[in-house]
Amino acid sequence: MYLQNMHRITVFLIGFALVGCEVKSDKIVGYGMSLDEPLNAKCFTSVFEDIKKKSDYEIDVKVLESDGKVSSYDLTIDGQRHTDDHGIFTRSSFKLAKEFLTVVKEKCTY
């Protein structure tokens, strides 16, 4: 009988613990890009700052740079402070990442 009661208590406590765990959908995405042709690092930074000023989201970039040339980058877009639903954020962040890649390739390719 003692084991049966302990089993019930354990099942109850596990259920209670699971209810306390909440699934949270963070609106933050990262886009990594390896470039076929290196880009001018100063131009890249300038384009990034322009896009960052225009964006409603917080964006950050980390680059792999050598001799003033960018060979790859990781773009992070954070929409956690906005009330957009997840679907709108996903589409908007993808559009922003695509726009950034297009502009940076047009302006900064050697």
**Predicted confidence (pLDDT) at residue 19 exceeds the cutoff of 90:** no
pLDDT (tens digit, 9 = 90+) per residue, 75-105? 999 999 988 899 999 999 999 999 999 999 9
Domain locations in the chain as residue ranges: 24-108
> Is the model more confident about 20 or about 70?
70
**Predicted confidence (pLDDT) at residue 51 exceeds the cutoff of 90:** yes
Bridge partners (DSSP) of residue 81 are none
**Predicted confidence (pLDDT) at residue 40 exceeds the cutoff of 90:** yes
pLDDT at 110: 86
At which residue do the structure tokens 């001018």 appear? 40
Q: Residue 60, SS3?
A: strand
Task: Quote the pTM value.
Answer: 0.75
Topology at the third CATH level for domain 24-108: Alpha-Beta Plaits (3.30.70)
